[in-house]
Structure 1
Amino acid sequence: MSVNDTKNNESHDQAESGFLSHLVALRACLVRSFCAIMVVFLVLIYFSNNIYHIVASPLIEKLPEGTSFQAISIASPWLAPIKLTFMVSLFIAMPYVLYQIWSFVAPALYRHERKRVLPLLISSVGLFYLGVMFAYFVLFPLIFSFFTQTAPQDVLVAPDINQYLSFVLTLFFSFGLAFQIPIATLLLCLTGIVTIESLKSKRPYIFVGAFVIGMFLTPPDIFSQTLLAIPMYLLFEISLLFARFYIKEKPEVDEIG
């Protein structure tokens, strides 16, 4: 065997060993994240009915007197609160899950990249929580009031608990995702895909696009569509202001680690 063949075999073994070590590290991060979610879930499962009541209270308060939620499926009274409790557990454990993801990705980044990405990661979590709270405290009272008051007189408003759960989880996710606009805008500017000036010139299109996105992500009523579109556009404008201070001259390349 020649010297070159020996070197090639050694480099191949090193690459394979490095790949396996990354898989082991990723597995450890996933296991720790799952354990954290399950610990929170086991703590909260006793209060699953109370959690469902808290999430359902914006609609319960708007229901006509004498009406309440109904369970069409036999297992719904048990399954719906359990599903919601698991989602709440994921919601609570999300900072730790993202920390595990960060601990896996960070060693592969340069120092200046870590200094920029970490604040964006923390801000992303905060904005997602902010979007969920906006949906719960602002959107839900308005749209549920609209839905119940516009129902025909001969229609009894008694929503199914499973359908309500799917409805609110969709809105939570939609608003949490929509509130990521500042992060997406900063990343686009940081990577050079777009510039601040080009985004400013496209303001009319972005304004219309916010309403189009709101139409797809919210129920078919103008109130919820507007209540999603307006914050999205305001967040876009705020992200342009932050971009001027956040984006600086490209730093010199330094070592990884």
Structure 2
Amino acid sequence: MTAIRPDPQQEEQQPPDAAGLSEPTEENEFPDEVEMTLSEHLEELRTRIFWALGAFLVATIGCFVFVGPIVQLLQKPAGTAVKFIQTVPGEYFFVSFKVAGYCGLLIAAPVILYQVIRFVLPGLSRRERKFLLPIVSGSSVLFVLGIVFAYFVLAPAALLFFVSYGANVVEQTWTIERYFDLMFFMLLSSGIVFQLPILQVLLGVTGIVSSARMFSVWRYVALLAVVVGAVVTPSTDPLTQSLLAGAVTGLYFGGATTVRLLGK
């Protein structure tokens, strides 16, 4: 029996093995990929939540011990023209828990973020890990800058407007709970608004929006910044709204410039 030999030209024209095309590149490899059962995933999730809650409780208890100096620090943006009162028995006591809880969350945020990263890290490729540290670091720094901006710039300007408006008509006595609700709203809102460059970088590196497109719509962003300033700032004076609107616009241009420097 004569063996049939394949034509060499047909061999050369055969498509490469599909498995070879799907071989992962080095950047798409998962260096910590480990097969885990559902129960093991749930156990790890429980452990991460336990450590995050533990850090939050410890930080909250510590802040409650020193709640007096923290309250005095948060009262400073209002100045000396305001007198704080409590309208119901125990109001300041419950406000102390609220202040300790918010401050404890801010202090424990690095530990909570670390636990979240450790949980999702095994599922990230090498390429995704390259962006993880810069994004997390940048987001943390911008959040802190947002709080600092609100404490030293935004809150004093807004509170000064409230104090000066009607100063000759009404006495400035504010309830302690309403004041701290207002302060924490401004602090947290500013911290969230300052995440705008991080969102822009994510949109840029994923190819959803280019830097050229970001720069082309800056007029609409400036208009939106004014709207955000009107929503986030509690006062209606143009100075306070302009301060936040200017900060948002500056952050937007900073994010667009970063995306352009990344070549996107």
TM interval, shorter chain, is 0.7 to 0.9
2:244 corresponds in structure 1 to 228
In the alignment, which of 64, 68, 77 is matched to residue 45 of structure 1? 64
Q: Is the 8 A contact 2:144 2:191 kept in 1?
A: yes
Q: 3-state SS of the aligned residue for 1:138?
A: helix
Q: 3-state SS of the aligned residue for 1:193?
A: coil
Deviating more after overlay: 83-92 vs 219-228 = 219-228
1:150 corresponds in structure 2 to 165
2:23 corresponds in structure 1 to none
In the alignment, which of 219, 224, 234 is matched to residue 219 of structure 1? 234
Q: 3-state SS of the aligned residue for 1:69?
A: strand
| Structure 2 Cα separation of the partners of residues 132 and 101 of structure 1 | 22
Shift of 1:143: 1.7
Q: 3-state SS of the aligned residue for 1:166?
A: helix
1:186 corresponds in structure 2 to 201
Q: Is the 8 A contact 2:200 2:255 kept in 1?
A: yes
Q: Which runs of 4+ in 1 moved over 6 A?
A: none
| 1:11-37 superposed Cα distances (whole Å, 9 cap, x missing partner) | xxxxx9623322221221111011011
RMSD across aligned positions (CA): 1.6
One-letter amino acid of the structure 2 residue matched with residue 77 of structure 1:
Y
| Structure 2 Cα separation of the partners of residues 118 and 87 of structure 1 | 25
Deviating more after overlay: 31-40 vs 215-224 = 215-224
Q: Is the 8 A contact 2:158 2:235 kept in 1?
A: no
1:11 corresponds in structure 2 to none
Deviating more after overlay: 239-248 vs 227-236 = 239-248
TM-score by length of 2: 0.82
One-letter amino acid of the structure 1 residue matched with residue 58 of structure 2:
V
Deviating more after overlay: 22-31 vs 129-138 = 22-31
Q: Is the 8 A contact 1:151 1:157 kept in 2?
A: no
One-letter amino acid of the structure 2 residue matched with residue 177 of structure 1:
I
Correspondence 1:72-83 to 2 at 5 A: 72-83=87-98
Shift of 1:126: 1.0
Does 2:228 align with 1:209?
A: no
One-letter amino acid of the structure 1 residue matched with residue 40 of structure 2:
S
Q: Is the 8 A contact 2:52 2:115 kept in 1?
A: yes
In the alignment, which of 89, 92, 98 is matched to residue 113 of structure 2? 98
| 1:17-71 superposed Cα distances (whole Å, 9 cap, x missing partner) | 62332222122111101101111122222211221111011114343xxxx1011
Shift of the 114–75 alpha-carbon distance from structure 1 to 2, 3 Å rule, reads: same
2:213 corresponds in structure 1 to 198
| Structure 2 Cα separation of the partners of residues 246 and 19 of structure 1 | 38
Shift of the 247–120 alpha-carbon distance from structure 1 to 2, 3 Å rule, reads: farther
| Structure 2 Cα separation of the partners of residues 149 and 25 of structure 1 | 54
State the aligned residue count.
Answer: 229
Shift of 1:246: 3.0
TM-score by length of 1: 0.84
One-letter amino acid of the structure 1 residue matched with residue 127 of structure 2:
H
Q: Is the 8 A contact 2:193 2:248 kept in 1?
A: yes
Q: 3-state SS of the aligned residue for 1:159?
A: strand
Q: Is the 8 A contact 2:162 2:235 kept in 1?
A: no
| Structure 2 Cα separation of the partners of residues 239 and 62 of structure 1 | 39
Which has more radius of gyration?
2
Q: Is the 8 A contact 1:174 1:217 kept in 2?
A: yes
Does 2:86 align with 1:71?
A: yes
Does 2:134 align with 1:115?
A: no
One-letter amino acid of the structure 2 residue matched with residue 128 of structure 1:
F
| Structure 1 Cα separation of the partners of residues 253 and 60 of structure 2 | 38
1:252 corresponds in structure 2 to none
| Structure 1 Cα separation of the partners of residues 180 and 59 of structure 2 | 20
| 1:128-174 superposed Cα distances (whole Å, 9 cap, x missing partner) | 01100110011122222221111252211111100011101110111
One-letter amino acid of the structure 2 residue matched with residue 240 of structure 1:
A
Shift of 1:73: 2.1
| Structure 2 Cα separation of the partners of residues 214 and 61 of structure 1 | 26
Shift of 1:176: 0.2
One-letter amino acid of the structure 1 residue matched with residue 242 of structure 2:
T
